[in-house]
Structure 1
Amino acid sequence: MLRLLPANLTGAWGSPALRVREQGLMALSGGWLGPMAPPKCLLVPESHRFDCYPERRVVVTQELCESRGCCFIQSPPPAEGKQGVPWCFYPPDFPSYTLESLNQTALGMVGVLVRREKAYYPRDIQKLRLDVEFETDTRLHIKVTNPRYEVPLDVPQVMKRAENPIYSLNFSWDPFGVLLQRKATGTVLLNTTVAPLIFADQFLQISTSLPSKFLYGLGEHRDRFLHSLDWNTLTLWARDVPPTESFNLYGAHPFYLLMEEDGNAHGVFLLNSNAMEVVLQPAPGLTWRTIGGVLDFYIFLGPDPNMVIQQYQQVIGFPAMPPIWALGFHLCRWGYGSSNETWQTVRAMRNYQIPQDAQWNDIDYMDGYRDFTLDSQKFTSLPSLVEDLHKHGQHYVMILDPGISSTSPHGSYWPFDEGLRRGLFLNTTKGQPLIGQVWPGFTAFPDFSNPDTHQWWLENLQHFYSHVPFDGLWIDMNEPSNFMDGSEHGCPPGELDSPPYTPAVLGDSLSAKTVCASAEQKVSVHYNLHNLYGLMETKATASALVKIRGKRPFIISRSTFPSQGRYSGHWLGDNRSQWKDMYYSIPGVLSFSLFGIPLVGADICGFSGSTSEELCTRWTQLGAFYPFARNHNTQKEKAQDPTAFSPAARTAMKDVLLTRYSLLPFLYTLFHRAHLQGDTVARPLFFEFPGDVATWELDRQFLWGRSLLVTPVLEPGVDSVTGYVPRGMWYDFYTVRSITLSPDCSHPCRSLPAQGSSVNSSGELLKMSAPLEHLNLHIREGSILPTQKPGTTTEVTRGNPLRLIVALSSDATAWGDLFWDDGESLDTFEKGNYSYVMFNVTQVGWSPPLLLQGHSVTKEGGEDSVWLSCHARVLGKAFPSSLLSRLYPRMSPLSPQVLTVSDLGMSLSQGFSLQWL
């Protein structure tokens, strides 16, 4: 549906005129209103003031502001470190673009936008093209452009216009604006008439109102999961900096998800790789500012938040299926000192029978920190260590940095010499390789936008693999990081390195701790490609690993961009051994779940600084439920692998890691669903309970899929934790004991009287017992979890019998599923080399008997040896004394709420049914 709105139907940039007037009069009693402010300026309430002078290195005066034709009203200064109400803001009649023409196309419409008055940034563009495509019933594509750089993302082509979209689209002609509504509710999702559209060569800006304050995404930042709209600016420009609040970090993800007041959700993605900032204000409103590219928006209508993320990944691509060993426990540190010391750590883990699937090394394995080299003295036994790992069903992962040493004490260094000969490095504006400084000293930077660089990268990896047959790669420092600003000679003068407007980047320069924006690459200048550097390196690395090993590649990358999940996972960077860093890891993991990168985690126990035993124990309990679980710390600090602590702490860590390994079939199936359709693995509670507003701000707990609630302890010196338990029955994972709630517990939080108790919640905060050795895990009613007897590696665990945990709902139903393949081959689902089993419990008639069934689909070449050979555990009803089964298993009633069915001994590839009366 399309409707064109005449300009006289809008007031102060799209707000109804009467409403703005009333709010403006209310604003007269607050703030510092200058006596010379024009009446039209006084009509704009503070929360709706869109910044006309965002430059941060300039003290905005009335003269500067009014030279742009904007309103100036000085407001009270904000708190230290905070932004406040802008003093310089757009008046209601500020000139913008006019929609001059609009014509229908096969997929939507095409229009022309014209600006008749110049904007205040240089080289503003007079005429723009507007493209609108109604791609699906739940996805709209709006693009405002002129011929210039666009991100080369492989987006699926749409061949047919949506027939029954759940949205309606309206336009304002003059000033131009987009108004997008949800048909079912009338909620206005976007209204860009609230501020003028500006489109200059190096400054693009568009603003919109928002239907609520519940906004998530826009990474990568260290922040609460739910962003504050209190004049909050989020900058997107890949940067090497330890995670710190208010700064741009390693990756760039211009995507947000917003919960509407009625529980519906939508998402917005700006496909743009240039330096960018997103300003949030309490109107509620949002402003996108970028200094290049085009305004290429995809809007996803959900309406469920899970569906929004699935729809987003239909555009950027679904994540790759990881090898199953990637889901085991990983161990690393910078500072092992030698391969023998690394080996000693591995042996200690085995000695204590603590699960471990992968051993990593940081840059100290290299000769002089040079890629593709081996310290022949300290790490001479590394090939033997890798051979030993493989014999024990374990794996080896090593680090690589993109900076290639441009000097060598040995006279020649093939990676640099050959890269230079082929012309594969970033160049200066003078056509010479740009030289910066990273760990090995002076370095050049490979141009991964050049296909020839991919071949050179492969050849280097092949050569090293012939000596050290690694299983996966950790690619670090790929923002790219540079210990100099720009290069050894700085950056040349010009508007690429010193643009007319610089977003709020850390260091106040695009070249701060990275290369010059003017650096030349095969596809474009680095100004356009900087945020894509990590993604391009990852694609080259994934391609090389497939060619070398012929198996699913395992890659963890520090810098990321939309579509990264198709090639790698991510870790949250150089965190610290502090309690607040452990907390911030949860919003980080949940945010990357939104970004389509489910294989994500933080350095367990912290990277920098020395952890305490209590912190590391609690962090290991939390980290055991990161989708990607790695303990990693820096050199010259105390060791923090599980074997370094007291027997009590070591046992607690071992137990929670064994719990993770017991859940590998469930976790692996979650990753299959992510790969197949874009489901999240680690999931915020509101994804499952969008109608429960109390879940919308929660970021100290999370779910695995829909079924498992994780409530970690995030504070020192406590033996209990308060968590929110959504409505329904939740069974304790460990003991599965039902309880009677204490009647004397005061509102709003009541206590569970015993550790390991199940609860029937009305949707409330509950205080749970949490001694140091205990992590609270609860299974949601109506769930069936496939598990296994845990071993010390995924290889051992996969050989153990499967078990089912059946958590019945109040109406005696439950469901779950299991995806199973060989755990490492490429494209097993696509080729049909897998088994898939759907489990469900149904009630026959109005009362028992109940029927537990497994419906199996085993493709040709699939895993035929999936055996449920131990038992099924059924939770939630008072069971009768007789049990009928086609297989006549033995029954062991443990309590009125738990039934264990033992000795099943059946192949799930054939399906089964189990019935009791």
Structure 2
Amino acid sequence: MGKPLSTLVFLLLFINCVYSWKKDEFRNCNQTPFCKRARSRKPGSCSLIAADVSISDGDLVAKLIPKESSQENPAKPLVLTISAYQDGVMRLKIDEDQTLAPPRKKRFEVPDVIVPEFLNKKLWLQRLKEERIEGGLVISSVVYLSEGYEGVIRHDPFEVFVRESGENGKKVLSLNSNGLFDFEQLKENKEDNEDWEEKFRTHTDKRPYGPQSISFDVSFYDADFPTKGPGVDDSEPYRLFNLDVFEYAHDSPFGLYGSVPFMTSHGKSRGSSGFFWLNAAEMQIDVFSPGWNNEYSSVLMLPTDQKRVDTLWMSEAGVVDAFFFIGPKPKDVVRQYTSVTGTSALPQSFAIAYHQCRWNYRDEEDVYNVDAKFDEHDIPYDVLWLDIEHTDGKRYFTWDKMLFPNPEEMQNKLAAKGRRMVTIVDPHIKRDESYYIHKEASEKGYYVKDSSGKDFDGWCWSGSSSYIDMVNPEIRSWWAEKFSYENYVGSTPSLYIWNDMNEPSVFNGPEVSMPRDALHHGDVEHRELHNAYGYYFHMATAEGLVKRNDGKDRPFVLSRAFFPGSQRYGAVWTGDNSADWDHLRVSVPMTLTLGLTGISFSGADIGGFFGNPDTELLVRWYQLGAYYPFFRGHAHHDTKRREPWLFGERNTELMREAIHIRYMLLPYFYTLFREANATGIPVIRPLWMEFPSDEKTFSNDEAFMVGNGLLVQGIYTQRAKHVSVYLPGDESWYDMKSGSAYKGRAIHKLEALEDSIPSFQRAGTIIPRKDRFRRSSTQMEYDPYTLVIALNSSKSAEGELYVDDGKTFEFQQGSYIHRRFTFSNGRLTSSNAGPATAGDHKYVSECTVERIILLGLSTQPKTALIEPENRKVDITWGPLLLRGGPGPSVLTIRKPNVRIADDWTIQIL
């Protein structure tokens, strides 16, 4: 993945993978005709102009026609529509004209991704103004977008861009500035000697509708230090094509499990902007190196007073349905993007704790033994997972009766300790007439069809398998019913689901996937929706878990494949990684990048899925993984067992401590998940999101922020003695272990301690914790809180705490506690941070604050006054000793015993 989180951020996930020894099983750009054609075009080759520009139904509408056409070859116009939405979003759609001679097939537009609330934010354009730009030679039409920004379509040659208001306003984003737009319209018949079929290895794609690709250039203006893009001639573009890639490499632009065609840029001077293309077909994206188009600059009329990064977007099929996000702050771009695709679902509280998984825990005895060992070694965990071997012959929704004869009893025993189980359910259905899922799906016609119209038959874990056609809402509803307790025999309310192999993976298919000419509901070809298949499967499964409890409880579903909008349905992970230091290192930019696409709930398999990590690597991975939003240990069945107690007493202690830190910080993480749910802002963030003017953060993807209050620096090399940490900003940072203060805007060379990785609390923040360790997060529900206050140079700080029942959807009706803590002038105040709630929906908690720690206070007061009770409590001084480390003396208010639900103040005297 290189350094994808420098200022031009690629959210093309995942961009680092390839079969390490079977690369030839996958196509490159030269073996992909639409990509090869698009890359061969020269700047300025687009001959389309905008005609008949007008306002219709609140949108700007135009026809795109060739500048020169003849009676023998009349123009086939495309229809362009520009819409404006609240909060600085412009939408551009381009499709074939359906009003003249409709093509024999309507091009596919991806449904069920754009949230309905976004469509209600449309701004109805009232007027269109025309102006001459580029020295008075070119006519452009201009529409208002938001305060300070306009949308512009240049007529000849056509170009669409967003600019700051005014004729001389600087460009922010543009499409077709380099004249690379191309739209292959569907044909009625083949021309003479034209062959539409495509072959790759032993597979033939019939391509019954012929070439239908789209490509165009997009330019990002005033972006500093862009990610270095591949050259057109000698390297591969970034590929977005969901694939099951076995032991992927850590540093390749090749496609992996999920695709989010969203790109954002960031620069010190202007800020951030973003571009999103809602398209589910295979996509390839080039990032051009500076000066790539110098020989064409005289004919392109590109601005010379702005830095610019040019990109080329290429897709096999679909329509142009693109969104321009004007920012200008990094968090603004994420908010704007998630206003279109939705914010992250708020998970149940157990789901953000530690998960233990393996392919496979053998039987019920193994499950009970693993569960008991966690207790024996005082290691908390919340979820135990079962992979495919728990089923009856890899038939999903079943149990192997010899290995798991009493699944309900097994789940209930774990639930008694506040723990849950997860079982795997994949989209490939074993073709077995005695298997009720297959029989019903076959009879109802619910499978994807092959190009001849028969049920598609491919090979996966179940052997000969067919695949549920999840694009059809009726079929998704049918699938959701399979998760009821009556249908999923042996399941209980404490059982949750894991969707794997949903790219979809087909072992004997082209590129280990489904043929592109397979057919879905409405005669949609698989090529048109491939990247969204796993998204619809994830959606249907999550809806099933909601239905089984009559819509009361939130679901938990982990999915390997993902697409824009996946954040609304659950968690994802970085797939089948390997037990090596490079994969530990790259897990950070991978999860950060996911967060920037709105998919906050993600993480990497602790220790690596493939291979056997050495003990040091495993310990370092736990120490880092404790800060992933999704925290799970997982391993391949050919690896050695690696539960935390198997590596000697000292290493068990180190892993236990890492997991304890996660449990200690669960209140802070849950508060951040609520922020992601409400605003789209990710749980973990690249440094530049919090420090957008600090250029030293732009290319730093080894450290990251957890919320706005914690900075974490991983250790990525074996036997490291020291680690360098850059702490941004002008304020101090406090070591989480010792409480020692470190200067901001400086690089600090620190000793690489074996018992922790560097982590710091930002001055000016207040972080809520729970410091009593239990067997599971459920057993911590009624425990008291600790507030850690890190004072800035003004001796002030602020923070928040969000609490609800951790399970139901009642929070959507206002049933929660949301508190804001502020410290100023020696006074800590708790106030309501949310709208007032009352009546039956008011969430009630008797939890109290048992300890308050102040970092950065130089005076040594003796007492504190609690109001409105007019009660005094003692103050103590001493080292923090959070994890045994020495440090400066800090102020601690012990047992103030104020309720988190109440308004109160604590004045230090």
TM over 0.5: yes
Alpha-carbon deviation of 1:167?
Answer: 2.0
Match for residue 292 of structure 1? 317
Match for residue 700 of structure 1? 702
Letter in 1 for 2:30: R
Cα distance in 2 for residues equivalent to 1:376 and 1:230:
56
Cα distance in 2 for residues equivalent to 1:310 and 1:451:
28
Match for residue 465 of structure 2? 443
Alpha-carbon deviation of 1:292?
Answer: 1.2
Match for residue 579 of structure 2? 577
Letter in 1 for 2:478: W
Match for residue 153 of structure 2? 171
Q: 1:377 aligns with which of 402, 420, 424?
A: 402
Letter in 2 for 1:115: P
Is this contact kept in 1: 2:861–2:908, CA < 8 A?
A: no
Is this contact kept in 2: 1:572–1:603, CA < 8 A?
A: yes
Q: 1:141 aligns with which of 78, 91, 115?
A: 91
Is this contact kept in 1: 2:705–2:712, CA < 8 A?
A: yes
Closer/same/farther in 2, CA of residues 851 and 570 from structure 1, 3 Å limit: closer
Alpha-carbon deviation of 1:434?
Answer: 0.5
Secondary structure of 2:520's partner? coil
Say if 2:42 is the partner of 1:90: yes
Cα distance in 2 for residues equivalent to 1:134 and 1:452:
33
Deviations 1:704-726 (A, max 9, x none): 11000111111111132112111
Say if 2:260 is the partner of 1:240: no
Alpha-carbon deviation of 1:173?
Answer: 1.9
Cα distance in 1 for residues equivalent to 2:491 and 2:85:
48
Is this contact kept in 2: 1:871–1:900, CA < 8 A?
A: yes
Is this contact kept in 1: 2:273–2:325, CA < 8 A?
A: yes
Match for residue 61 of structure 2? 110
Secondary structure of 1:888's partner? strand
Match for residue 805 of structure 2? 822
Say if 2:698 is the partner of 1:691: no
Is this contact kept in 2: 1:215–1:256, CA < 8 A?
A: no
Match for residue 843 of structure 2? 863
RMSD of aligned C-alpha atoms? 2.5
Cα distance in 1 for residues equivalent to 2:567 and 2:582:
27
Is this contact kept in 2: 1:178–1:192, CA < 8 A?
A: yes
Is this contact kept in 2: 1:239–1:481, CA < 8 A?
A: yes
Letter in 2 for 1:136: Q
Alpha-carbon deviation of 1:55?
Answer: 5.8
Cα distance in 2 for residues equivalent to 1:191 and 1:531:
23
Letter in 1 for 2:561: S
Letter in 1 for 2:733: W
Match for residue 434 of structure 1? 456
Match for residue 895 of structure 2? 903
Deviations 1:82-106 (A, max 9, x none): xxxx8x55165x3520112211245
Closer/same/farther in 2, CA of residues 369 and 800 from structure 1, 3 Å limit: same
Cα distance in 2 for residues equivalent to 1:180 and 1:362:
49
Give the 5 Å matches for 1:236-635.
236-242=240-246, 243-244=248-249, 245-283=252-290, 284-407=309-432, 412-462=434-484, 463=486, 465-469=488-492, 470-485=494-509, 511-523=510-522, 524-549=524-549, 550-635=552-637
Alpha-carbon deviation of 1:430?
Answer: 2.5
Letter in 2 for 1:863: Y
Stretch deviating more after TM superposition (863-872 or 296-305): 863-872
Match for residue 82 of structure 1? none
Give the unaligned 5+ runs of structure 2: 1-27, 99-106, 125-143, 186-211, 291-308, 880-887
Alpha-carbon deviation of 1:381?
Answer: 4.1
Cα distance in 2 for residues equivalent to 1:905 and 1:850:
16
Secondary structure of 1:404's partner? strand
Letter in 2 for 1:206: F
Give the 5 Å matches for 1:215-234.
226=227, 228=229, 230-231=231-232, 233-234=237-238
Secondary structure of 1:194's partner? coil
Letter in 2 for 1:126: K
Say if 2:859 is the partner of 1:879: yes
Q: 2:770 aligns with which of 785, 788, 794?
A: 788
Is this contact kept in 1: 2:429–2:467, CA < 8 A?
A: yes
Say if 2:109 is the partner of 1:150: yes
Cα distance in 2 for residues equivalent to 1:200 and 1:252:
23
Alpha-carbon deviation of 1:464?
Answer: 5.4
Is this contact kept in 2: 1:611–1:638, CA < 8 A?
A: no
Match for residue 841 of structure 1? 823
Letter in 2 for 1:548: R
Is this contact kept in 1: 2:86–2:122, CA < 8 A?
A: no
Is this contact kept in 2: 1:426–1:520, CA < 8 A?
A: yes
Cα distance in 2 for residues equivalent to 1:869 and 1:261:
41
Secondary structure of 2:256's partner? coil
Deviations 1:407-458 (A, max 9, x none): 3xxx611110111111110112322111001011000000112233234323
Say if 2:123 is the partner of 1:131: no
Q: Percent identity?
A: 29
Letter in 2 for 1:315: V
Alpha-carbon deviation of 1:149?
Answer: 1.7
Cα distance in 1 for residues equivalent to 2:278 and 2:890:
51
Is this contact kept in 1: 2:429–2:468, CA < 8 A?
A: yes
Cα distance in 2 for residues equivalent to 1:309 and 1:551:
27
Is this contact kept in 1: 2:546–2:555, CA < 8 A?
A: yes
Cα distance in 1 for residues equivalent to 2:59 and 2:469:
38
Is this contact kept in 1: 2:83–2:122, CA < 8 A?
A: no
Secondary structure of 1:253's partner? coil
Closer/same/farther in 2, CA of residues 871 and 168 from structure 1, 3 Å limit: same
Say if 2:751 is the partner of 1:769: yes
Closer/same/farther in 2, CA of residues 95 and 578 from structure 1, 3 Å limit: closer
Letter in 1 for 2:369: Q
Q: 2:51 aligns with which of 100, 105, 125?
A: 100
Match for residue 889 of structure 1? 873
Deviations 1:643-687 (A, max 9, x none): 221111110111111111111111000000110111110110000
Is this contact kept in 2: 1:435–1:443, CA < 8 A?
A: yes
Cα distance in 2 for residues equivalent to 1:125 and 1:364:
59
Closer/same/farther in 2, CA of residues 562 and 635 from structure 1, 3 Å limit: same
Is this contact kept in 1: 2:161–2:171, CA < 8 A?
A: no
Stretch deviating more after TM superposition (519-528 or 426-435): 519-528
Match for residue 752 of structure 1? none
Is this contact kept in 2: 1:820–1:836, CA < 8 A?
A: yes
Alpha-carbon deviation of 1:191?
Answer: 5.2
Q: 1:809 aligns with which of 778, 792, 808?
A: 792
Is this contact kept in 2: 1:131–1:142, CA < 8 A?
A: yes
Letter in 1 for 2:318: G
**Deviation above 6 Å: which 4+ runs of structure 1?**
none
Give the unaligned 5+ runs of structure 1: 1-53, 71-85, 217-225, 486-510, 738-757, 844-848
Match for residue 56 of structure 1? 30
Secondary structure of 2:280's partner? coil
Cα distance in 2 for residues equivalent to 1:714 and 1:131:
48
Is this contact kept in 1: 2:242–2:259, CA < 8 A?
A: yes
Secondary structure of 1:904's partner? strand
Letter in 2 for 1:582: L
Match for residue 736 of structure 1? 739
Cα distance in 1 for residues equivalent to 2:50 and 2:874:
75
Cα distance in 1 for residues equivalent to 2:864 and 2:385:
51
Q: 1:193 aligns with which of 177, 195, 199?
A: 177
Q: How many pairs were matched up?
A: 773
Alpha-carbon deviation of 1:584?
Answer: 1.0
Letter in 1 for 2:499: I
